[in-house]
Amino acid sequence: MTTSTAQRAQTLSALHTAPEILRVVNVWDVVSAQAVLALPETRALATAGHSIAATFGYADGENIPRDLMLDMVGRIVSVAGDVPVSADLDAGFGDPGDTARRAIGVGAVGANVEDRLRPLGDAVAAVEAIVRAGEAEGVPFALNARTDAFVRAGDRPVEESIADAIERGRAYLQAGADVIFVPGILDADVTRQLVEGIGERKVSVIGLPGALSAAEYEALGVARISYGPLTQRVALTALQDVAKSLYADGVIPSSTRALN
């Protein structure tokens, strides 16, 4: 029997606070979700908004229609069973609370929502709206509140970005967020400062080329690591590489697995 949406939300929240880092491999459609779900290590799924948009030919940044994006989230949830699914909701599509409500309606139990460095009061209000939406639906929605303190930092000193991320992270936690997502290539020193300022097992990061490994982030007290559009890029790189080989009279590698 499939667990309820509320129960899956509680599971995701518990994974955020567990001593071990939650490793989430981002997916973008049903078949990518099924490939990851087949692995026994999979404890949760997260969608990548950039990747879903690219699947339908849209640029990242809320260019994809909200209903189309949420339809794909629902399709992914439909094959996930008891595994909780967190949705990338960009910046909330102009109405973070209603977008979260609709995401819950298709079975998502958590989300990333980015602040785009909007004024702090506006960003906190968005977090509060999302939390209220979860409460209204009877779901302890696990919000991975994203701050763009690093990815939109421009040329400001890193110390200012750290301070900004900590201020915003604390405010979002106070408003009801589960964890604080700070994307960027974060070295050990920066990560240590973020964890000290925001809280142990309260910081979420992205795995990028040049960043630390999941185990290294875990040792520093990070709660969660995900990979955004990078997983789709790996898949597309493999596709393009095999196509190039086939054009050169190559053959399909014998190691290919029937995952579809």
* Residue at 241 is within a domain: no
Q: Which of 113, 108, 186, 107 is nearest to 144 (CA)?
A: 113
What pLDDT was estimated at residue 2? 57
pLDDT tens-digit map of 44-80: 999 999 999 999 999 999 999 999 999 999 999 999 9
Q: Is the pLDDT of residue 8 over 60?
A: yes
What is the residue range of 126's domain?
5-233
Q: Is the pLDDT of residue 189 over 90?
A: yes
* Residue at 240 is within a domain: no
* Residue at 9 is within a domain: yes
Q: Would you tell me the crossing angle of helices 30-37 and 230-247 to the nearest 10 degrees?
A: 100
* Residue at 95 is within a domain: yes
> Could you tell me the CATH number of the domain that includes residue 172?
3.20.20.60
pLDDT tens-digit map of 90-105: 999 999 999 999 999 9
Count of the separate structural domains present in the chain: 1
What pLDDT was estimated at residue 3? 77
* Residue at 239 is within a domain: no
Mean pLDDT, residues 107-130 taken together: 98
pLDDT tens-digit map of 124-148: 999 999 999 999 999 999 999 999 9
pLDDT tens-digit map of 212-245: 999 999 999 999 999 999 999 999 999 999 999 9
What amino acid occupies position 39? L
* Residue at 244 is within a domain: no
- Do residues 52 and 67 touch, judged by C-beta distance below 8 A? no
What pLDDT was estimated at residue 1? 37
Please state, in angstroms and as integers, the Cα–Cα distance from residue 253 to each residue in 54, 197, 231, 238, 240, following that order.
27, 49, 21, 11, 14
Q: In the structure encoding, which two tokens stand for residue 204, read together?
A: 């979420």
What pLDDT was estimated at residue 95? 98
* Residue at 247 is within a domain: no
* Residue at 226 is within a domain: yes
- Do residues 143 and 130 touch, judged by C-beta distance below 8 A? yes
